[in-house]
Amino acid sequence: MRNKKPTILMTLAIIASLAVAACGATPQPQVVTVAVEVTKIVEKEGQQVTIVETKIVEVTAAPPTGVPATATPEPKAVDTVVFGMQQEPDSLHPLITTMTASAQVNGVLNVGCMAQNEKVEWVNLGCEGDIPTLDNGGTRFVGEGEDRYMEITHKIREGWRWTDGTPVTAKDVVYSWKLAMDPEFQIAARSQYEKILDIAAPDARTFVVQLMSQKQVRAAAAGTLEGAVAFADFQQDYIDLGYENWQGPVVDPVYWTVGAFPWLPSHILESVPGAEQAENEYVRMPVGDSAYVVKEWPALCRAGTGKPGQEIVLERSELPFPLGDVQIKTIIFRFYGESSAVLNALKTGEVDAVMIATGGLTPANGPDLDGIAALGVYKVLYIPGYSTEHIDLNMTKFPLDDVRVRQALYYGIDRQALNDTLYFGKQNVADLQIPKGMSWAYTDNYTKYPYDLEKAKALLAEAGWDCSNYPCTDAQGRQLAFTLMTTDRADRQRLAQAIQQMWKQLSVGINLQFLYGRGLFQACDAGGPMYCRTFDAGIYTSTTGDDPAFQDTYTCKAIPTEENNWTGQNWPGWCNPVADAAVGKAEKDFEISLSREKRYPYYETFFQEYAKDVPVINIFSVNRVGAVRTGWKNYRPGPTQFSPETWNFWEWEVMK
| Cβ proximity of 467 and 506 under 8 Å | yes
Domain 80-87+291-384+633-654 has CATH 3.40.470.10: no
What pLDDT digit, counting tens, does each position of 440-498 carry?
999 999 999 999 999 999 999 999 999 999 999 999 999 999 999 999 888 999 999 99
Q: Rounded distance, CA 279 to CA 281, Å?
A: 7
For residue 471, whether the previous peptide bond is cis, meaning omega lies within 30 degrees of 0, is: yes
| Cβ proximity of 88 and 356 under 8 Å | no
pLDDT of 393 strictly over 50: yes
What pLDDT digit, counting tens, does each position of 571-611 carry?
999 999 999 999 999 999 989 999 999 999 999 999 999 99
Ranges of CATH 3.10.105.10 domains, the chain:
385-623
Q: Rounded distance, CA 580 to CA 596, Å?
A: 18
Top-confidence residue, 6 or 339: 339
CATH of domain 110-269: 3.90.76.10
| Cβ proximity of 620 and 415 under 8 Å | yes
Q: Rounded distance, CA 155 to CA 153, Å?
A: 7
From 330, 337, 291, select the one nearest 313 (Cα to Cα). 330
Write the DSSP symbol of residue 387.
E
pLDDT of 29 strictly over 70: no
> How buried is residue 330: exposed, middle or buried, by Cβ count under 10 Å (0-12/13-18/19+)?
middle
What pLDDT digit, counting tens, does each position of 61-95 carry?
334 434 344 455 789 999 999 999 998 998 999 99
Write the DSSP symbol of residue 166.
P
From 178, 113, 150, select the one nearest 588 (Cα to Cα). 150
Angle among Cα 323, 328, 330 to the nearest 5 degrees reads 125
Ranges of CATH 3.40.190.10 domains, the chain:
80-87+291-384+633-654
* pLDDT at position 51: 55
Ranges of CATH 3.90.76.10 domains, the chain:
110-269
- Provide the CATH topology of domain 385-623: Dipeptide-binding Protein; domain 3 (3.10.105)
Which of the four pLDDT bands, split at 50, 70 and 90, describes residue 525? confident
What pLDDT digit, counting tens, does each position of 215-245 carry?
999 999 999 999 999 999 999 999 988 899 9
Write the DSSP symbol of residue 302.
T
